[in-house]
Structure 1
Amino acid sequence: MIRCERLVVGYLDTNCWIIAPDLPGRPPALIVDPGDDPDYLAAAAASYDVVGLLITHAHADHVLALQPLAESLNAPIIGHPAEREVWTAELDHLAKHGYLDAGTATADLVATGNAPRPNPDVPLWNGHLDQEIQTTTTLKLGPLDVDIIPTPGHSPGSLTVHAAGHLFTGDTLFPGGPGLTSPVYPLTDFAAIMTSVRNLLTYPEHTTIHPGHGPDTTVGTERPYVETWQARGW
């Protein structure tokens, strides 16, 4: 019923997803989180009729291939308008430090001489959204219903995608707990992300969770630990 193709890209091994109905030929598809390596992603996308590019949030490791793909595929960009503030903060960090903010990985990347910097030959996202998502919205990919769900916390406009028993959670939910929130990152909110996580874990226990980095998990695997995460505060 569904195709889920994972493509790992960029300096933080971001999971980019191509979601499509399991149909012959070139089915309609949504690309989620085109984080880097636009030529690689464009080659993978050639097997599909890409009808949209969706960002779960606007941290740089999730959007560095967004602008070139939008132009080469003539595909609309879909996201939450609150993420423009996040992207502005990312660009401000780049201007101030000469490299991008990679969260808790930043110090190690800089120390090892791998400070994350965008490819100067690849255009950066201009902040434009062709479709703004602020409430739960259903997109149709042929016979496949794709629900786009606001899940704030890791960033104010974070989104999760649900389709046919699969949750694509960006950096909202991972194996072992919610994504990064910290007073060091002023656009994050632990209380908000826990509300989002609790909502996601109301899906059936067999629902697969595909996070923005690393391996998959399931709702049933993670649900028993919600109160542990709440108590530890991260």
Structure 2
Amino acid sequence: MAYHGQVKVGGSPDVRELAHVIITKVAVGPMDNNAYVLRCRATDEQFLIDAANDAHTLRSVIGEGGLASVLTTHQHGDHWQALGAVVAATGARTLAGREDAPGIPVPTDVLLDDGDTVRVGRVELTARHLVGHTPGSIALVYDDPQGHPHVFTGDCLFPGGVGNTHNDPEAFRSLLSDVETKIFDPLPDETWVYPGHGNDTTLGAERPHLAQWRERGW
């Protein structure tokens, strides 16, 4: 079946099989967070994006293959509720943005800066530091050599707009600027966006609305 990215808490994960990596998306409660497990086809190494909640569900998606690493996209509590339990069960190393790591109660093993390379087996992703939703939010870009790019945006980009900047005009301008210059400008319309909550989108679907987002201020 074709991947659609529409998942719900208590429902089945959705799986996308690319040439070099398999992406599994699952939703966990109580705030309908998305978590993503990436598995390198060549090595079977696995990588988790956001141990948001419900360690049992996350461990069932991880399965018996083990977990090498887990990225927390940002410091907000709904994105790390299961982090301690997942790390204790798997021994996975932890990654987070340098500026947000102090706000995550599980120690961070690898501090990420903009442009850093994150490896999942033989697969490489690029960390993009996006400032505004939090000081140290990290998106991950996978530029599929046999297809279009894929970007995991945490709470920085959703269908219909950027993430919540809590009515702070400066934070909004910062986040929109970073999303434009680091995500929209270098990546094509075909780029698939995997957000921290809700359904997926593409840059092509969102690009025509950037000016509208700027004008409305959120």
| Both structures adopt the same fold (TM-score exceeding 0.5) | yes
Where in structure 2 are there 5+ consecutive unaligned residues?
1-18
The answer to whether 1:190 aligns with 2:172 is yes
Counterparts of residues 1-234 of structure 1 (less than 5 Å):
1=19, 2-23=21-42, 27-84=44-101, 87=103, 126-163=105-142, 164=144, 165-183=149-167, 189-198=171-180, 199-202=182-185, 203-234=187-218
CA deviations on 1:49-107 (whole Å, 9 max, x unpaired) are 4211101101111100011111110011100132145x3xxxxxxxxxxxxxxxxxxxx
Between Structure 1 and Structure 2, which shows a larger proportion of strand residues?
2
Structure 1 residues 3-12 or 43-52, which shifts more? Answer: 43-52
The code of the aligned residue for 1:35 comes to: A
Q: Residues 129 and 138 of structure 2 are in contact (CA less than 8 Å); yes or no, is this contact kept in structure 1?
A: yes
Aligned mates of 2:68, 2:38 — CA distance in 1: 11
Larger radius of gyration, structure 1 or 2? 1
Letter in 2 for 1:12: M
Identity %: 29
Q: TM-score, normalised by structure 1?
A: 0.77
1:88-131 deviations in whole A, cap 9, x for unaligned?
xxxxxxxxxxxxxxxxxxxxxxxxxxxxxxxxxxxxx6341100
Q: Which residue of 1 aligns with 2:10?
A: none
Query: For structure 1, which runs of at least 5 residues remain unmatched after alignment?
Result: 88-124
Aligned residues between the structures: 192
Structure 1 residue 47: Cα displacement: 4.5
Please give the TM-score of this superposition, normalised by the length of structure 2. Answer: 0.82
Runs of 4+ in structure 1 over 4 Å off = none
Counterpart-to-counterpart distance in 2, 1:159 and 1:64? 18
